[in-house]
Structure 1
Amino acid sequence: MKNINSIFCLTLLLVGLFSCQSVLEETPVGLATADSYYSTPGGLEDGLKAVYTPLRRFYGREEAFFLTVPGTDMFTNGFGGVTNYPDINNYSANFLGSNAFVTVIWDNFYVGINQANAVINRAPGVAGLTEANRTRIIGEARFLRALYYFHLVQQFGDVHFSLEETIGVQTTAKKTPVKTIYEQGIVPDLQYAIEHLPAKAAAYGRITKPASEALLARVQLTLGNWAEAERLASQVTKGYDFQLLKSYASLWDINNDANAEVVWSVQYTADPLTNGAGNESHLFFLFDYTQNPTIIRDLPNGRAYQRFMPTNYLIKLFDPAKDSRWEGSFKTVWFANNKGTINGKTVMPGDTAIKIVPYSVPDAVQNQAPYWYIDFKDTWVGASTITNNEIGGGQRRRFPVIKKYIDPLRTSVNATDGRRDFIVIRLAEMYLIAGEAAWRQNKLTEAAAYFNVVRTRAALAGKEKEMQITASDLSLDFILDERGRELAGEMHRWYDLKRTGQLLARVKKYNLDAAPNIKEMHLVRPIPQTQIDRVTNPGEFTQNPGY
C-alpha cells in the first residue's frame, strides 16, 4: 500500500492522425465514468484505494495533530503554536467554524465516506469478482467509513450521516444523533469487517480482521460497552502473532516501522512521486535547537515547527529511574555539529550542546556547564517569568522533544515530506483498553494484569518488580496517567479526556493556557462555516452551540 494513488479520473481519447492531405479526426471511443469504471473488478479495486486516500490528510498532518494533541492536560502551545495557531489549544473566542483545520478534516472525511459508499453500494453488481474479493473490498471500505465517522462524531458530535453514494449536487444536510451513527453505521460496519476480512492482508497496510477488532474495541470503550471492549482488545492480544517489542524505544526506529507491535499503520514512502505531502509529524514537537551557537540545522535533529510543548503534568508523569518511556519518548540531549562557545567554554562538534532534565539544577551548576543545561523548576512552562535555561524558556523554545516522529531519512534538512509510516493502532493500546474495560467491570485483578504487561515492557532492566501494580493502585487517574505515559503524542489524548468526562477538569488543572476559557461547549468543535454556508436548509443544519 506504499503506492496508493488518489487519482482515479481516467479519460481515454483516441486521436486519428493522418497525412497532411487528410483531415484530423478525433474519435472518442471511451469516456470513463463512475458507472463504467467501477463496474469492473480492476476499477472497483482502484475505487477502494481512493477510500484510503483521506487517511493521509489526517494521520501525520498538522490539522489532525492540533485537534487531538494540544488543548489537553499533556500538551500546550510551543513557540510555533503561540505565533501561528493559538486558538485551538486555548479554546479562545477566535476558535470558530472559519478555522481551516476543522474544514480540512471535515471535507476530507466526507470525501472518503462518499467514496466508501460508492464502493460498498456498487460492489454487489460488479461481474467477474470472486465472492471472497467482493466481501473483502466491501469490508475494507466499511472499516474506513466507520473510522471516518468515528472521528467526525468525536470531534463534531451530531453530523450529517449517509450510507448512500451522493451523485450530483446535494444542497441539504441533516444532523443525525451520534447514537444513531454508532448504531447504524460505525458498529455494524466494523462487525462486517471483522466477519469478512482476513487475519493477514495480501498487501501490508490494508485493513485486516485484527485491525477491525482493535478499532471496534476503541469504539466500544468510548460507548461504555466494557465487556465487549475487553473481549475485542483481549482477542487482538491473544489471537494473532502481534508482540510487544522488547524495547519501547525500538518502536520508533524508522528502519523498523513495520514491526511486530503494529496492528495497523498508514503508509508513507520514500518515493516523492507517490508520497504526496508526506508524513509531517516530525515537524511539530521539535524546538528550535539552532538558537544554540554550536548547532546548525541538520537531518538527524529535524526541522522545528515548535507547535506543541509538554505541560508540567506530562514532564512529571514519568519516573526516569525505572520507566524507560521517558527516555524512549523524549529527546533530551543534542550534540554540537559546529564549533562554538557556551558559558565561556569552547564546544567542538560531537560534544554535548544541550541537555534537558526533568528536575531542578542549581543555577551555579547550569552556568558552569559547557552546554545549555536546561532544568525544570515546576513553574508553569508557559509563564513569562521562565528563564532561558528552564523548560519553557526562550519564549517556549526550550523543552523535551517527542522523538517518536523524528525522520532523519528526509531528502533535505528543509524537507517536510517525511516517509515514516504512521502507527494508528499498536498492541500496547489493546492491553490498555482491556485493562480499563476490566476495571470498569470491577475485575480488578484482571485489570492490573493487563496494565502490568505494558509496564513490564516499559521497565528499565532490573526494575521490573518496581513497575508492577496491584488492584489497589487502579483508579481513573491512574489509567489516564498510564495511557499518557504509553501513548504521549500519538493523537489519543483529546479523545481520552472527552470519553472519560475529564476534559474540562484536567485542562483546568494542568493546562494553564486553556484553563480560563474551556467550557462545556468545547466538548465538540465548530462545524466548518463553509458547510453551514453551502446548505440550503441552514435552519435545520445549524452550528454547534456556543460557536
Structure 2
Amino acid sequence: MKIFNRTNFLIAATAALTMVTGCKKLLTEKPESDLYPKYFTTAGGVQAAITGVYQDLRSNFSGEGIVYCYNGTDENIVGGSGGNGANILNSYNGLNSTNTPDLLGLYTDINTLNGAIQYSSAITDAATRAQYVAQAQFLRGFIYFYLVQTYGGTTATQKSGIPLHLTYNTSASTADAPSPLSDIYNAIIADFTTAATNLPATITGTNPFSAAGVGKSATSAVANAYLAKTYLTRGYNSEVAQPGDFQSAATLTASLISNKATYGLDLWQDYNDEHKPANDYGKENMFNIDYGGASDPTYTGYTLQGSGGSGINQLYVLARFNYVNTGVDNVTGIDAVPQKMSSNSAMLRDVYGGRPYTRLAPNKLYTMDVAFADQVHDCRYDATFQTYWICNKAGVSGTSSTGTSKGQLTPASNVSLSSYQVPIGGDTSILMPSQDVTMARRDAFKGVIVTPKQFNNTIFPTVKKFDDPTRTATGDFSSRPIVLMRFSEVYLMNAEANYMLNNITAAATSLNVLRARAAYRTPADAATVANNQASVTAANMAAVNSANAAAMLLTGTQLAQLAIPNNTTVGSAPCGMDLILEEYSREFYGDPRRWYDLVRTNQLVRRATKYNSFAAPYIQPYHTRRPIPQREIQNVLSGPAYPQNNGY
C-alpha cells in the first residue's frame, strides 16, 4: 500500500496520547485548530491518518527487534550473533520490565484511529466515509488484539495489563490504568465485526489504501479472519471466555473457506508458490505489511547501499547463518559434535547469498527432529530452508581427513556483487543433508558437509522463503512485504476451533487439506533443493505426488492423538494440540508469530519446557504475558501508580 508523507498530520495526531506515549512526549506547542480535530472531518485527513497508521505498523515489524515473536518458544534458539536481550527473551532468565518488548507506542496510532472514527461523520460522501471508518476500526481492533496478546488486561487474578481508550484525546495525560480483559476483548470484537460488514470483499484499483490495488490492506475477509482469531484466543482464557467462542471461530473460518471465491482467496496448489515474490499479492496472502519496493524511496526510505537503507524489512536476514565463515577442509573433528570448521572458505558474501545476521537459529530438537521430520513426503522443509551453497570464490581447494587435496572447487559462472543471480554451474561448497554421512563421503565431497546432528546456533539451514531477488547490493535488506495473515491460517484456525469443540472429523478435514497440498512437488521445485533431497521429474511427478498425498493424510494413530483433549500440563503426553501446533510450524516457520501461537493455546510453558533447554529451568506461567515496560510505568505521574503484570 502507498503511505503518504504525513508530516502535517503528525502535528495534529501526536499531541493526544495515553499513558504510554503522552507521558514521555508532553507537547508544549498548540496545534492549529483547523487540523485538530477538524482535520478528521475531511476525506483527505482521514485517509492520511489511516495510511499513517499503516506506516507505523510497517516500522513496528521491520527491524530485528521482532525477535520477541520467535525467542523463548519451541521453534527457535538465539543465533550466534544474537545479543544479551535475545538470550533473556529466549531463556526468560532475567526477563523484566527493563528488557521487555515495548509495543506501547502504538497507542499514538490508537488515538489517531479514535479521531478518524469519532469525527469522520462530517465526511459527506457516505461510501467513502463507510470505507474509511471500516479501515480505522479494523486497524484499531488489530492493534488492540496485538497488544492484549502481549500484555493482557485485568482479571480476577491478573491485576495489570493494558488500558483501553476508545475516544480521541485532545490533550496529553499523565494518568492511566489497566482495563478489564473482558472489556478489551469486547472492544476488539466490536471493531472487527463492524469492519467486516463495511470493508470491501477484495482490493481493487480504486482502493485508497493500496498502490493501485496491488497492496494487501484490510478487506472484509481479513476482518473476519481476525475476528475468528479473537474468538479463538478469548476461548482459551477461562476468566473471560464465552460459551460460544470456539463455535464462533469455527463458523467464521468455515464461511471464509466456503466463500473463498467471493474474496479472491485460495491456496496455491504448490506450497512453494506461496512464497515466490511474484505471488506476494496473490490469492493466498490476505494481509501484508508492505515495504514499497526499491523503486519508491520516498515511501520506503530504501537506498541501494551496503547498509541497506532504512525502514526496510529485515525479516529475511534474521535466520541466515554466516556462510562466508564456513570452511571446506576436513580438519580433525570435522564430524564431531559440535562440528570443527576450518577457515578455508569457498564462499564470499554476494547478493544471492544475502546478508547473514544470525539473530535466530532453528531449534533442531523440535524444528528438524519433530516438525520437519518428514522431508520426503512433505515439501515444506525444502521450500522453507536453504540447504546448500554453491561456490562463488575462485582458487579454493579443500583438504581431506588425511591431508590430501579434495580438488579445486569450480565457482558459479555468474557471481555478482551488484545483482541477485541464481548460481549457474559451480560446485557445492556447503551441503546440509538430512542424514549423517561417512568420512569417506566427506572426503569425496569437494566442499564441507554439515549433518543434522551438527546443527547449532551458528551453522544451520537458512530460511530462504523471504529472499528478495530485487536487491542490488550485498548488504541490502528486503522490500518484500511481511505477511501477517495467509489463507492457509484460516484452515488451521478452523482445525483448532473444531478440535477445541471436540469435532475431530472436521478438524482432521482442515488439516488434511494443508497436508495434501504439502505433498505436491514439481520439477521446477527440484531445481531449488540439493540433489540429495526429495524431488520429482516430469516422468514420475504424477505418481510420486499421488503417493505422497496419500502418505500425508492423517493416519489412524494421528487421528487418535487428535482426539486427545488439549493438555497444558508440563511433562504430559502428546495431545491433539501438539499435532495442530506442528502443522502451524510447517506452514509458517519464519513468520513472526510463534510466541503468540503458543501463548494463545496455553502451550507456551509446556512446549518450551519440553523442547527449549535454555528456557526449561526458568519459564513460569506468568511468562505468557510480557512485563509492562518500566519507562511506561514511570511515566504515570498522576493518580494511582500503574501496576506491573503478575510475576515481574
RMSD: 1.9
Matches within 5 A, 1:70-469: 70-82=71-83, 85-93=86-94, 95-99=95-99, 102-103=101-102, 105-107=103-105, 109-124=106-121, 126-128=122-124, 130-157=125-152, 158-183=161-186, 185-201=187-203, 202=207, 203=213, 204-224=215-235, 225-241=245-261, 242-270=265-293, 271-276=296-301, 277-292=311-326, 293-311=345-363, 312-316=365-369, 317-318=371-372, 319-339=374-394, 340-343=396-399, 344-345=405-406, 346-349=408-411, 350-377=426-453, 390-392=454-456, 396-416=457-477, 418-460=478-520, 461-462=545-546, 463-469=548-554
Tell me if the contact between 2:348 and 2:393 (Cα under 8 Å) persists in the aligned partners: yes
Counterpart Cα distance in 2 of 1:458 and 1:243: 15
The one-letter code sitting in structure 2 at the alignment partner of 1:281 is L
Pair 142,509 (structure 1): closer, same or farther in 2 beyond 3 Å: same
1:496 corresponds to 2:593: no
User: What secondary structure sits across from 1:187 in the alignment?
Assistant: helix
The one-letter code sitting in structure 2 at the alignment partner of 1:464 is A
Pair 545,538 (structure 1): closer, same or farther in 2 beyond 3 Å: farther
Counterpart for residue 560 of structure 2: 472
| Among 28, 45, 48, the residue aligned to 1:46 | 48
User: What secondary structure sits across from 1:300 in the alignment?
Assistant: coil
Counterpart Cα distance in 2 of 1:299 and 1:341: 23
Counterpart Cα distance in 1 of 2:362 and 2:639: 40
**Residue-by-residue CA offset, 1:117-151 (whole Å, 9 max, x unaligned):** 11111111x243x2221121111111111111111
The one-letter code sitting in structure 2 at the alignment partner of 1:59 is F
Tell me if the contact between 1:6 and 1:53 (Cα under 8 Å) persists in the aligned partners: no
Q: State the shift of 1:291 in Å.
A: 0.7
Q: State the shift of 1:358 in Å.
A: 3.3
Pair 410,111 (structure 1): closer, same or farther in 2 beyond 3 Å: farther
Counterpart Cα distance in 1 of 2:472 and 2:4: 21
The one-letter code sitting in structure 2 at the alignment partner of 1:313 is Y
Q: State the shift of 1:486 in Å.
A: 1.1
Q: State the shift of 1:10 in Å.
A: 8.1
The one-letter code sitting in structure 2 at the alignment partner of 1:118 is G
Pair 62,179 (structure 1): closer, same or farther in 2 beyond 3 Å: farther
Q: State the shift of 1:432 in Å.
A: 0.7
Counterpart Cα distance in 1 of 2:84 and 2:468: 24
**Residue-by-residue CA offset, 1:437-466 (whole Å, 9 max, x unaligned):** 112222222211111111111014231000
Tell me if the contact between 2:38 and 2:119 (Cα under 8 Å) persists in the aligned partners: no
Counterpart Cα distance in 2 of 1:123 and 1:81: 45
Q: State the shift of 1:32 in Å.
A: 5.2
Aligned length: 505
Q: State the shift of 1:468 in Å.
A: 0.7
Tell me if the contact between 1:114 and 1:166 (Cα under 8 Å) persists in the aligned partners: yes
**Residue-by-residue CA offset, 1:142-201 (whole Å, 9 max, x unaligned):** 111111111111111120110011222210111112222001x10000000011111013
User: What secondary structure sits across from 2:614 in the alignment?
Assistant: coil
Counterpart Cα distance in 2 of 1:363 and 1:216: 55
Q: TM-score, normalised by structure 2?
A: 0.75
Counterpart Cα distance in 2 of 1:266 and 1:155: 19
1:514 corresponds to 2:615: yes
**Residue-by-residue CA offset, 1:513-544 (whole Å, 9 max, x unaligned):** 12122112211112111111111147441122
Which runs of no fewer than 5 residues in structure 2 stay unpaired? 12-31, 153-160, 208-212, 236-244, 302-310, 327-344, 400-404, 412-425, 521-544, 563-575
Q: State the shift of 1:37 in Å.
A: 2.8
Tell me if the contact between 2:3 and 2:52 (Cα under 8 Å) persists in the aligned partners: no
Which runs of no fewer than 5 residues in structure 1 stay unpaired? 12-29, 378-389
Tell me if the contact between 1:52 and 1:112 (Cα under 8 Å) persists in the aligned partners: no
The one-letter code sitting in structure 2 at the alignment partner of 1:342 is G
Counterpart Cα distance in 1 of 2:640 and 2:437: 60
The one-letter code sitting in structure 2 at the alignment partner of 1:57 is S
The one-letter code sitting in structure 2 at the alignment partner of 1:220 is Y
Tell me if the contact between 1:37 and 1:44 (Cα under 8 Å) persists in the aligned partners: yes
Counterpart Cα distance in 2 of 1:264 and 1:404: 17
Q: TM-score, normalised by structure 1?
A: 0.88
Tell me if the contact between 1:302 and 1:407 (Cα under 8 Å) persists in the aligned partners: no
Counterpart Cα distance in 1 of 2:505 and 2:623: 36
Q: State the shift of 1:367 in Å.
A: 4.5
The one-letter code sitting in structure 2 at the alignment partner of 1:116 is L
User: What secondary structure sits across from 2:449 in the alignment?
Assistant: strand
Q: State the shift of 1:363 in Å.
A: 4.0
Tell me if the contact between 1:407 and 1:419 (Cα under 8 Å) persists in the aligned partners: yes
Pair 82,46 (structure 1): closer, same or farther in 2 beyond 3 Å: closer
Which segment is superposed worse, 532-541 or 293-302? 532-541
Counterpart for residue 381 of structure 1: none
**Residue-by-residue CA offset, 1:223-272 (whole Å, 9 max, x unaligned):** 22111111111222221331111211121112321111111212111222
User: What secondary structure sits across from 1:263 in the alignment?
Assistant: strand
User: What secondary structure sits across from 1:165 in the alignment?
Assistant: coil
**Residue-by-residue CA offset, 1:407-446 (whole Å, 9 max, x unaligned):** 2322411123x21011111111101111111122222222
**Residue-by-residue CA offset, 1:370-406 (whole Å, 9 max, x unaligned):** 11200022xxxxxxxxxxxx211xxx21001111222
Tell me if the contact between 1:73 and 1:510 (Cα under 8 Å) persists in the aligned partners: yes
User: What secondary structure sits across from 1:59 in the alignment?
Assistant: helix
Tell me if the contact between 1:5 and 1:53 (Cα under 8 Å) persists in the aligned partners: no
Q: State the shift of 1:473 in Å.
A: 4.8
User: What secondary structure sits across from 1:168 in the alignment?
Assistant: coil
Tell me if the contact between 1:53 and 1:112 (Cα under 8 Å) persists in the aligned partners: no
Q: State the shift of 1:84 in Å.
A: 6.4
Counterpart for residue 542 of structure 1: 643
Q: State the shift of 1:281 in Å.
A: 0.6
Counterpart Cα distance in 2 of 1:127 and 1:328: 48
Tell me if the contact between 1:301 and 1:408 (Cα under 8 Å) persists in the aligned partners: no
Counterpart Cα distance in 1 of 2:37 and 2:227: 32
Counterpart Cα distance in 2 of 1:423 and 1:297: 27
Tell me if the contact between 1:113 and 1:148 (Cα under 8 Å) persists in the aligned partners: yes
Tell me if the contact between 2:9 and 2:45 (Cα under 8 Å) persists in the aligned partners: no
